[in-house]
């Protein structure tokens, strides 16, 4: 039978959901419906959620899994009374840490996601703005300010990866599309002039041509743009360019954005401005 997992928080729910999904991902043979419930910050909300959890237990015929980061003791007690297998992240981890560090935790709601005084929040916003301003080769004159420049054919994952690098690590990522405008007289892909000065910042993305064709078909069906022959040609030319100019690259076909980004950072030694949320 499928199981339901609730990620509950009196803040954003990011911590509970991130840890919960990481733990539950280890159980591939179990069908789990995941529900995130942020901002459970009053007894009324907690009581309503407890009712939902109880109804879910009856519907599923199995106790829901409850993973929470609730700080308020009164609210936690209400959730505790709901039927379910409970993983209280704060109680599980903070109590032993308090003992080891010989001090009490502040038990602050949303502490890891607060704006704070260390300018992490502003770094994140600035980096996201930079990624948006420099998306798809929009402002090549700003490449001197980029930490990394992603290159690749259209729809291979450049934009979402750039934004993820910005949001999670504060990395200023620009991206540049390789198109027919970059072909030489013989029809071969050449190093674009806008990128030539910044070869040390380049990182290539590639993708399986069949997957690329499927993605492009959703955008422009029945066009040359999405044909398998065109996709195969573009991918081959892009990879040849990477090898010719010693540009490191990664195949995005079977990797998530998180995996692409962390592999990229590991391979290039790119400096994170802060740890992920």
Q: Residue 204 pairs with which residues in a beta bridge? A: 151, 249
Task: Give CA–CA dist 32/220, Å, rounded.
Answer: 35
152 marked as part of a ligand binding site: yes
> Is 153 within 8 Å of 181 (Cβ atoms)?
no
**DSSP 3-state assignment of 91?**
helix
What's the confidence (pLDDT) of residue 274? Answer: 66
Residue stretches of the chain with pLDDT short of 50: 117
- Residue 4's φ and ψ, nearest 5 degrees, are -110, 135
- Residue 151's φ and ψ, nearest 5 degrees, are -125, 150
> Is 77 within 8 Å of 71 (Cβ atoms)?
no
154 marked as part of a ligand binding site: yes
Tokens encoding 237:
């030319």
> Is 110 within 8 Å of 91 (Cβ atoms)?
no
**pTM (2 d.p.):** 0.71
The sign of the torsion formed by the CA atoms of 139, 143, 146, 147 equals positive
157 marked as part of a ligand binding site: yes
**DSSP 3-state assignment of 240?**
helix
**DSSP 3-state assignment of 236?**
helix
What's the confidence (pLDDT) of residue 125? Answer: 87
Task: Give CA–CA dist 215/82, Å, rounded.
Answer: 43
Task: Give CA–CA dist 47/67, Å, rounded.
Answer: 17
Task: Give CA–CA dist 187/180, Å, rounded.
Answer: 9
Task: Give CA–CA dist 127/139, Å, rounded.
Answer: 15
> For the sheet containing 173-177, what is the strand order?
173-177, 148-152, 202-206, 249-251
What's the confidence (pLDDT) of residue 129? Answer: 94
Q: Does domain 119-268 have CATH number 3.40.1630?
A: no
109 marked as part of a ligand binding site: no
What's the confidence (pLDDT) of residue 122? Answer: 82
Q: Domain ranges for the chain, please list them.
A: 3-101, 119-268
Task: Give CA–CA dist 224/230, Å, rounded.
Answer: 7
226 marked as part of a ligand binding site: no
103 marked as part of a ligand binding site: no
162 marked as part of a ligand binding site: no
Reference 194, options 152, 245, 139; nearest CA is 139
59 marked as part of a ligand binding site: no
Task: Give CA–CA dist 24/66, Å, rounded.
Answer: 12
Task: Give CA–CA dist 201/107, Å, rounded.
Answer: 41
- Residue 177's φ and ψ, nearest 5 degrees, are -85, 135
Residue 140 CA: distances (Å) to CA of 56, 126, 171: 53, 17, 17
> Is 20 within 8 Å of 47 (Cβ atoms)?
no
């Amino acid at each position: 039978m499928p199981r339901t997992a609730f990620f509950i928080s009196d803040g954003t729910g990011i911590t509970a959901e991130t840890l919960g999904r990481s733990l539950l991902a280890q159980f591939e043979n179990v069908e789990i419906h995941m529900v995130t419930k942020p901002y459970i910050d009053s007894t009324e909300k907690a009581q309503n959620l407890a009712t939902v959890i109880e109804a879910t237990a009856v519907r599923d015929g199995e106790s829901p899994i409850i993973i929470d980061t609730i700080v308020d003791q009164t609210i936690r007690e209400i959730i505790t009374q709901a039927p379910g297998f409970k993983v209280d992240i704060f109680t599980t981890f903070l109590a032993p840490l308090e003992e080891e560090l010989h001090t009490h935790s502040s038990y602050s709601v949303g502490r890891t996601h607060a704006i704070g005084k260390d300018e992490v929040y502003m770094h994140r916003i600035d980096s996201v703005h930079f990624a948006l301003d420099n998306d798809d080769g929009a402002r090549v004159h700003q490449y001197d300010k980029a930490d990394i420049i992603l290159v690749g054919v259209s729809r291979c994952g450049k934009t979402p990866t750039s934004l993820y690098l910005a949001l999670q690590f504060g990395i200023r990522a620009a991206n540049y599309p390789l198109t027919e405008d970059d072909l030489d007289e013989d029809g071969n892909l050449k190093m674009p002039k806008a990128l030539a000065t910044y070869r040390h910042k380049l990182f290539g993305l590639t993708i399986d041509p069949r997957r690329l064709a499927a993605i492009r078909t959703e955008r422009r069906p029945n066009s040359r743009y999405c044909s398998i022959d065109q996709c195969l040609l573009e991918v081959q030319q892009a990879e040849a360019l990477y090898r010719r100019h010693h540009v490191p690259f990664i195949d995005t076909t079977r990797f998530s954005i998180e995996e692409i980004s962390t592999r990229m950072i590991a391979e290039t030694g790119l400096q994170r401005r802060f740890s992920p949320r």
